[in-house]
Amino acid sequence: MARYATDHKDATRRRLIDAAARRFKRDGLDGSGIASLVADVGLTNGAFYGHFTSKGDLVASVVADQLADQRAIIESLPDGPEGLEHFIREYLSPAHRDDRENGCPSAALLDEISRCDIPIRDAYTTGMRSILDLVAHHLDPEDPASSYDRATGLFTALICTLQLARALTDRELSDRVLAAGLTNALALAQPPTPLSSSPQQ
C-alpha cells in the first residue's frame, strides 16, 4: 500500500509539473493561478499543498524540470557543431514559434523569471549553466572552456530571435526574423576562422 501511495503521489506531482509548464508558457506565470493549475489535472487547491509548499515552489520545480528536458535533448545530439545544427534549425522554425506551450521555457518565460524570487532565479541559473556547459562541449569537444562565451552568445541569439519573432504581428517580418536569426546562429556554431599569420618580411 505504501509503495502504491508513493508511486501515485509521484505521478500526480509529475502531472502537475507537466500541466503547469504548458500553462505557464501559454498564459505566463502571473496569468496562472493555483486554482486553474490544479483544475488542469483534476485536483483541488488543498491537494496542491500535498505536493508543493507554494506557487513559487511549483514554478521553481517547473523551471528546473523544463531546462533539464532541454538539456537532455541537446545531450542526445552527436558531438561537434554539426550536432547542434539540427537543434538550431528546429529551435528557429515557424513550428516552434507557433507552439509556445510546448516550446523553450526561456523564450516563453525569461522576462517573468527575471522578476521572480531568488529560489526561482537560482533554479533557472543552475539549469541554464548546465545547458551552456553542454553547448560549449558541442562547439568544441576537445576544449569546451574555450567555447563557453560563444555558446553563451549562440543560446542568447536563439532565445532573443524566437522572442522577437513571436512578438511580431506581421507574419512575413516574423519569418524574416527567424531566417536571419538562423543564419547568424549557424555562423556562431561554426569553428572560428584562424587568424592568418603575417607574411614574412
Give the CATH number of the domain where residue 169 resides.
Answer: 1.10.357.10
Structural domain harbouring 124:
55-189
Task: Convert 38-62 to b/e letters by CB count within 10 Å (16 or more is b).
Answer: beebebeeeebeebbeeeeebbbbb
Total domains present in the chain: 1
Q: Is residue 1 part of a domain?
A: no
Q: Is residue 30 part of a domain?
A: no
pLDDT at 8: 74
Percent of the chain with pLDDT over 90: 72
Give CA–CA dist 85/183, Å, rounded.
11
Q: Which three cell numbers stand for residue 34?
A: 493555483
Band of residue 54 on the pLDDT scale cut at 50, 70, 90: very high
pLDDT at 195: 56
Does residue 185 carry a pLDDT above 90?
yes
Band of residue 196 on the pLDDT scale cut at 50, 70, 90: low
Give CA–CA dist 180/182, Å, rounded.
5
pTM for the whole structure: 0.88
Q: Is residue 86 part of a domain?
A: yes
Does residue 197 carry a pLDDT above 70?
no
Q: Where are the beta strands (DSSP E) in the chain?
A: none
